[in-house]
């Protein structure tokens, strides 16, 4: 994973509506970027809903939430609407940002190894510095974990 205390890599990705979203858009705010494997799958849904359920409390701490996966914008739109997610989901089909944040690597599922998105979260402070990294995430309570460090 990316290291705490380092400068967060700049990026611009499309959100679920096809609009550009850049890290620099949130200068002066804390930014929670969570990387997840796939829209509307069991673990990813639990994690997204955990962030949804803690969204207002996270906003109250001066932070915004951004979800990032390689899914298409249209997939993000459906996922966001289905679960009433109040934050942007960013599409990184080339996995450029995913790799820049070291959220790509070897995963294991049902005893098979493969390359994929590592479920992880990075919290960036108001100056653009990585303040906390969650290299492994338990989806159901992750929103509460992130809230606790803000």
Catalytic residues, by residue number, are 44
Q: What is the DSSP letter of 6?
A: S
* Cα torsion angle, 83, 64, 24, 45, sign: negative
- Alpha carbon distance 103, 116 (integer Å): 8
- Alpha carbon distance 86, 117 (integer Å): 23
Runs of H (alpha helix) within the chain? 42-53, 55-60, 73-82, 96-100, 142-149
């Amino acid at each position: 994973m990316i290291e705490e205390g380092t400068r967060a890599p700049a990026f611009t990705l499309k959100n679920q509506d096809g609009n550009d979203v850049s890290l620099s858009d949130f200068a002066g705010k804390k930014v929670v970027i969570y990387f997840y494997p796939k829209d509307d799958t069991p673990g990813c849904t639990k994690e997204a809903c955990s962030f949804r359920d803690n969204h207002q409390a996270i906003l109250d701490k001066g932070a915004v939430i951004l979800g990032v996966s390689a899914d298409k914008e249209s997939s993000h739109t459906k996922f966001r609407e289905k679960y009433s997610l109040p934050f942007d989901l960013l599409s990184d089909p080339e996995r450029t940002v995913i790799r820049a944040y070291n959220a790509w690597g070897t995963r294991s599922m049902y005893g098979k190894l493969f390359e994929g998105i590592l479920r992880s979260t990075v919290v960036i402070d108001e100056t653009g510095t990585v303040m906390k990294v969650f290299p492994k995430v338990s989806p159901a309570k992750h929103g509460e974990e992130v809230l606790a460090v803000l």
